[in-house]
Structure 1
Amino acid sequence: MSNSIFISDTHLGLQGERAEACKIRRFEELADLVVRQEVTAVYMLGDILDYWMEFRHVIPRYFSAFLCILRDLSRHDVELHWFSGNHDFALGRFFTDEFGVRCWYGMQELTLDGKRFYLGHGDGLDSSDIGYRLFVSLIRNRFNQKLLSALQPDLAVGIMRGFSRMSRKRNPAPSNEESDFLLQYADALVRQKDFDYFVCGHSHALKQTTLCNGRSRYINLGTWIDGTFPYGMFHNGEFSLQEL
């Protein structure tokens, strides 16, 4: 049996200096736990960074401590999976080439130790939200990303931070309505497909509950921006929510 850890919505780069330093310390604690308990895989389910801009020759300095943590985990042969969210939407090749991170987009169906998972950030599931779909098509367009990366780095990063603020204005705060939609989506999905766990983030609403079939579980990993530091642990075929 393997151990896996799941996190979401840490939003590094969003808050003030003290809050950001605290989040990095917690990331370091999590990395120590991963190595100490011989965790085999870490799944980052979106909005780990509040924004990201990738260049050919420049690395944005704001996330240097986080990148050092990724480097350490990769050196310990930990599988790293990153599911793009509505803030870290332009992951590019950097994380794969430098740290061996496997980048995913949208909800994905994976099997871990014989259990079937639906994993993803949770954004973009509402097919009626045309505005969001247009926004995603704009910011994830490879041509547009290449244009941005060709700009002076400070200017390009500023534009990406602006896109992040646009995304936040579309979802200014976690809402019961958004959280309920994700749970309802999982309930509808389990009527069509057989799976054990639906794990997401996005709504910032920490939650674990049984779906309508009486067996499958819905897990929302919450957020790190409110002074708490939750994460998910999958161990010996069972999923649990923990806190640093």
Structure 2
Amino acid sequence: MPGLYFLSDLHLGLQEPQAEQEKLERLEKLFSLIREQGGALYLLGDILDYWMEFRHVVPKGFTRFFCMLSGLVRSGVEVTWLAGNHDFYLGSFFDDELGVKTCYGLQEVRYDGKLFLVAHGDGLGEGDLGYKLFARFIRNRFNLGLLTAFHSDLSTALMKHFSLLSRKHKKVDMRAESTRLLDFAAALARERDFDYFVCGHNHSERVQALHDSGSTYVNLGSWIEGRYHYGVYEQGQFRLEKL
């Protein structure tokens, strides 16, 4: 049976050109593997470090990635993208032009008799009220309309600024594992049955069993520190791999 593949926190557009080139080359390698093996790909947020979508304009900077993504879809791979706190709002460009399904928040995926709960991770669990209010503000349709009414250069600059604010909101040690998402998954496992809770956001890869419930917590880590992890479920096993 083909596998399920999971990626998060690439933050394309954040780093210097050499690091960005390396990320894209690793991504091409992974996309080639998925095409050969078959299956589906879930992008669990913060794939881009910022994004502002307009009705008639596509911001530059991600053309190679979009071509790679479109090619993967055209090869028959189903791609689903869950918005993170850096790719603030994913509009119709991805669905209509690239064939990528976009969604927000916690999603359920049933595959091979297993139930996967997948999310980026932002806004889940207790606390972080400031971010939750910010996300409501930035994704409000009226506010999005105001932003897209500005000149595209100005709106994109604002998105980069919001991205910087989101990064400053996190702890200095990006790889320090916050317990918020782990605690959220553990509490969820006490309330309902699922097999895997898969997320990103914390930038710290981790696979951990949740009590004796039979559920497993998976954090996919980040690509911004040269650790090119991805998750794959195949042949009844979930594992983290590194490109």
2:177 and 2:18 mapped to 1: Cα distance?
A: 31
CA contact 1:190–1:213 (8 Å) conserved in 2? no
Partner of 1:116: helix, strand, or coil?
A: strand
User: Where in structure 2 are there 5+ consecutive unaligned residues?
Assistant: none
CA contact 1:12–1:48 (8 Å) conserved in 2? yes
Alignment pair present for 1:164 and 2:163 = yes
Residue by residue, what CA displacement relative to the aligned partner does 1:41-81 show, whole Å, maximum 9, x if unpaired? 10000000000011111111100011011110111111111
Residue by residue, what CA displacement relative to the aligned partner does 1:94-129 show, whole Å, maximum 9, x if unpaired? 100012211121111221121011100011013432
Deviation at 1:176, TM superposition (A): 3.5
Alignment pair present for 1:242 and 2:241 = yes
Alignment pair present for 1:55 and 2:54 = yes
Deviation at 1:169, TM superposition (A): 1.3
2:201 and 2:126 mapped to 1: Cα distance?
A: 16
1:227 and 1:176 mapped to 2: Cα distance?
A: 16
CA contact 2:177–2:202 (8 Å) conserved in 1? no
How many residue pairs end up in the alignment?
Answer: 242
Deviation at 1:172, TM superposition (A): 4.2
The aligned runs of 1:147-186 (5 Å cut-off) are 147-173=146-172, 174=174, 176=176, 178=178, 180-186=179-185
Deviation at 1:175, TM superposition (A): 5.5
Aligned to 2:25: 25
2:129 and 2:120 mapped to 1: Cα distance?
A: 18
Deviation at 1:2, TM superposition (A): 2.8
Greater shift in the superposed pair: 195-204 or 102-111:
102-111
User: Relative to 1, partners in 2 of residues 1:72 and 1:153: Cα closer, same or farther, differing over 3 Å?
Assistant: same
The ranges of structure 1 where at least 4 consecutive aligned residues each deviate by more than 4 angstroms after the TM superposition are none
The aligned runs of 1:16-165 (5 Å cut-off) are 16-38=16-38, 40-165=39-164
2:95 and 2:110 mapped to 1: Cα distance?
A: 21
- Aligned alpha-carbon RMSD (Å): 1.3
* Structure 1 residue identity aligned to 2:124: L
1:159 and 1:136 mapped to 2: Cα distance?
A: 15
User: Where in structure 1 are there 5+ consecutive unaligned residues?
Assistant: none
Partner of 1:125: helix, strand, or coil?
A: coil
2:194 and 2:177 mapped to 1: Cα distance?
A: 24
2:167 and 2:206 mapped to 1: Cα distance?
A: 21
Residue by residue, what CA displacement relative to the aligned partner does 1:4-37 show, whole Å, maximum 9, x if unpaired? 1100000001111111111111111111111111
1:159 and 1:172 mapped to 2: Cα distance?
A: 22
Per the normalisation by structure 2, the TM-score is 0.96
CA contact 2:177–2:204 (8 Å) conserved in 1? no
2:214 and 2:175 mapped to 1: Cα distance?
A: 26
Partner of 1:62: helix, strand, or coil?
A: coil
Aligned to 1:7: 7
1:126 and 1:208 mapped to 2: Cα distance?
A: 19
Partner of 2:144: helix, strand, or coil?
A: helix
1:95 and 1:9 mapped to 2: Cα distance?
A: 18
1:9 and 1:175 mapped to 2: Cα distance?
A: 12
Alignment pair present for 1:232 and 2:219 = no
Per the normalisation by structure 1, the TM-score is 0.95
